[in-house]
Amino acid sequence: MYVCHCNVVSDRHIRAAIAAGAVDVDGVSDACGAATVCGGCVPTIEDLLAEAAAAIRQPDLVGLRQAARRGGGHRAPVLPAAAVARPAAG
């Protein structure tokens, strides 16, 4: 599906940009050109960034649950930079 109609950028392009390391809207813009004209696609790009961040965090939640069942401690999860989505400037 097209997310950025101004620049004809699909969700596949945006997911690929996120997988390649884009962690915020500016990073996605730099990678694929989305969100550089009207900005109408920014909320959807933010949703895709949040979705990717949640997918990355999920394994850490499994580890926390397993540690809690064992009664042992568990280190705080260290999230990769791709899991931290910053709000768009502006």
* Residues at the interface with ligand FES (CB under 6 A): 4-7, 34-41
Least Cβ distance, residue 62 to ligand FES (angstroms): 35
What's the CA gap between 28 and 36, in Å, rounded?
Answer: 10
CA–CA distance, 53 with 43 (Å, rounded to integer) = 15
- Closer of 39 and 88 to ligand FES (Cβ): 39
| Minimum CB distance to ligand FES smaller for 36 or for 60 | 36
Q: Is the dihedral of CA 63, 68, 73, 78 positive or negative?
A: positive
Q: Output 39 or 56, the one with its CB closest to ligand FES.
A: 39
